[in-house]
Amino acid sequence: MQAKGYHIAPFICYEVVYPEFAAGLSAQSDLLLTVSNDTWFGTSIGPLQHLQMAQMRALEAGRWMIRATNNGVTALIDPFGRITVQIPQFERGVLYGEVVPMHELTPYLHWRSWPLAIVCLLLFGWALLAARISKTV
Protein backbone atom coordinates (compact mmCIF):
# COMPACT_ATOMS: atom_id res chain seq x y z
CA MET A 1 0.00 0.00 0.00
CA GLN A 2 1.30 3.49 -0.82
CA ALA A 3 0.46 6.97 0.41
CA LYS A 4 2.31 10.16 -0.57
CA GLY A 5 5.16 8.10 -2.01
CA TYR A 6 5.69 6.01 1.13
CA HIS A 7 5.25 2.25 1.37
CA ILE A 8 2.93 1.25 4.20
CA ALA A 9 2.72 -2.31 5.49
CA PRO A 10 -0.97 -2.95 6.25
CA PHE A 11 -1.93 -5.49 8.90
CA ILE A 12 -5.54 -6.47 9.44
CA CYS A 13 -6.56 -7.51 12.93
CA TYR A 14 -4.46 -10.40 14.24
CA GLU A 15 -1.92 -10.43 11.38
CA VAL A 16 0.27 -8.26 13.59
CA VAL A 17 0.54 -11.18 16.04
CA TYR A 18 2.77 -13.23 13.70
CA PRO A 19 6.38 -11.97 13.72
CA GLU A 20 7.60 -13.78 10.59
CA PHE A 21 4.60 -12.65 8.56
CA ALA A 22 4.96 -9.09 9.83
CA ALA A 23 8.69 -9.03 9.08
CA GLY A 24 8.04 -9.95 5.45
CA LEU A 25 5.80 -6.92 4.95
CA SER A 26 7.79 -4.60 7.20
CA ALA A 27 11.10 -5.07 5.39
CA GLN A 28 9.62 -3.48 2.26
CA SER A 29 7.84 -0.62 4.02
CA ASP A 30 8.43 2.81 5.49
CA LEU A 31 5.55 2.73 8.00
CA LEU A 32 3.36 0.07 9.62
CA LEU A 33 -0.42 0.26 9.88
CA THR A 34 -2.69 -2.10 11.77
CA VAL A 35 -6.46 -1.84 11.73
CA SER A 36 -8.41 -4.02 14.12
CA ASN A 37 -11.86 -4.75 15.49
CA ASP A 38 -11.15 -5.61 19.12
CA THR A 39 -14.81 -5.81 20.21
CA TRP A 40 -14.75 -9.60 20.31
CA PHE A 41 -12.25 -9.39 23.23
CA GLY A 42 -14.96 -7.76 25.35
CA THR A 43 -13.62 -6.35 28.62
CA SER A 44 -10.77 -8.88 28.83
CA ILE A 45 -7.08 -7.99 28.65
CA GLY A 46 -7.08 -9.10 24.99
CA PRO A 47 -6.96 -5.59 23.48
CA LEU A 48 -4.01 -4.66 25.69
CA GLN A 49 -2.15 -7.82 24.72
CA HIS A 50 -2.93 -7.07 21.07
CA LEU A 51 -1.45 -3.60 21.57
CA GLN A 52 1.69 -5.09 23.16
CA MET A 53 2.16 -7.38 20.16
CA ALA A 54 1.90 -4.36 17.87
CA GLN A 55 4.54 -2.62 20.00
CA MET A 56 6.83 -5.62 19.53
CA ARG A 57 6.36 -5.59 15.74
CA ALA A 58 7.25 -1.85 15.66
CA LEU A 59 10.39 -2.57 17.69
CA GLU A 60 11.42 -5.54 15.53
CA ALA A 61 10.93 -3.53 12.34
CA GLY A 62 12.34 -0.23 13.61
CA ARG A 63 9.31 1.46 12.07
CA TRP A 64 6.50 3.69 13.28
CA MET A 65 3.24 1.80 13.77
CA ILE A 66 -0.14 3.46 13.33
CA ARG A 67 -2.71 1.37 15.22
CA ALA A 68 -6.41 2.06 14.66
CA THR A 69 -9.13 0.12 16.47
CA ASN A 70 -12.85 0.52 16.92
CA ASN A 71 -12.84 -0.10 20.67
CA GLY A 72 -9.34 -1.20 21.64
CA VAL A 73 -6.40 1.09 22.18
CA THR A 74 -5.70 3.33 19.18
CA ALA A 75 -2.10 4.52 19.24
CA LEU A 76 1.03 5.71 17.53
CA ILE A 77 3.99 3.49 18.40
CA ASP A 78 7.55 4.66 17.76
CA PRO A 79 10.35 2.47 16.31
CA PHE A 80 11.44 1.61 19.87
CA GLY A 81 8.02 0.14 20.71
CA ARG A 82 6.95 3.08 22.87
CA ILE A 83 3.44 4.48 22.70
CA THR A 84 3.75 8.19 21.92
CA VAL A 85 0.05 9.07 21.87
CA GLN A 86 -3.08 6.99 22.37
CA ILE A 87 -6.83 6.90 22.72
CA PRO A 88 -7.75 4.58 25.61
CA GLN A 89 -9.90 1.51 25.20
CA PHE A 90 -13.67 2.12 24.85
CA GLU A 91 -13.21 5.87 24.18
CA ARG A 92 -14.05 7.68 20.96
CA GLY A 93 -11.66 10.23 19.61
CA VAL A 94 -9.37 11.45 16.89
CA LEU A 95 -5.69 10.72 17.23
CA TYR A 96 -3.18 13.36 16.16
CA GLY A 97 0.54 12.83 15.95
CA GLU A 98 3.55 12.70 13.69
CA VAL A 99 5.35 9.68 12.30
CA VAL A 100 8.66 9.50 10.47
CA PRO A 101 9.13 7.05 7.58
CA MET A 102 12.04 4.66 8.15
CA HIS A 103 13.94 2.70 5.50
CA GLU A 104 16.81 0.84 7.18
CA LEU A 105 16.62 -2.84 8.03
CA THR A 106 16.92 -3.81 11.67
CA PRO A 107 18.90 -6.94 12.59
CA TYR A 108 15.58 -8.75 13.06
CA LEU A 109 14.32 -7.81 9.59
CA HIS A 110 17.64 -8.86 8.11
CA TRP A 111 18.11 -12.22 9.88
CA ARG A 112 14.60 -12.89 11.29
CA SER A 113 14.66 -15.70 13.88
CA TRP A 114 17.73 -17.49 12.52
CA PRO A 115 20.15 -16.38 15.27
CA LEU A 116 17.76 -17.69 17.91
CA ALA A 117 17.33 -20.98 16.03
CA ILE A 118 21.11 -21.39 15.78
CA VAL A 119 21.57 -20.72 19.51
CA CYS A 120 18.84 -23.26 20.32
CA LEU A 121 20.50 -25.89 18.10
CA LEU A 122 23.89 -25.21 19.71
CA LEU A 123 22.41 -25.55 23.19
CA PHE A 124 20.65 -28.77 22.20
CA GLY A 125 23.90 -30.13 20.76
CA TRP A 126 25.77 -29.13 23.91
CA ALA A 127 23.14 -30.88 26.08
CA LEU A 128 23.42 -34.06 23.99
CA LEU A 129 27.20 -33.97 24.23
CA ALA A 130 27.08 -33.39 28.00
CA ALA A 131 24.65 -36.30 28.42
CA ARG A 132 26.85 -38.58 26.34
CA ILE A 133 29.98 -37.60 28.30
CA SER A 134 28.25 -38.14 31.66
CA LYS A 135 27.22 -41.68 30.61
CA THR A 136 30.79 -42.61 29.75
CA VAL A 137 32.27 -41.30 33.01
Q: What is the DSSP string of 3-59?
A: ETTEEEEEEEGGGGG-HHHHHHHHTT-SEEEEEE--GGGTTSSHHHHHHHHHHHHHH
Beta bridge partners of 65: 32, 77
pTM value?
Answer: 0.87
Contact 79, 62 (CB under 8 A): yes
- DSSP letter for 118, please: H
If you average pLDDT over residues 69-81, what whole number do you get?
95
How do the domains of the chain map onto residue ranges? 2-108
Asked if residue 137 has pLDDT above 90, the reply is no
pLDDT tens digits for 82-111?
999 999 999 999 999 999 999 999 999 999
* Domain with residues 2-108, CATH architecture: 4-Layer Sandwich (3.60)
Q: Tell me the mean pLDDT in the region 11-20.
A: 94
Predicted pLDDT at 37: 93
Evaluate whether 56 touches 49 at the Cβ level (below 8 Å): no
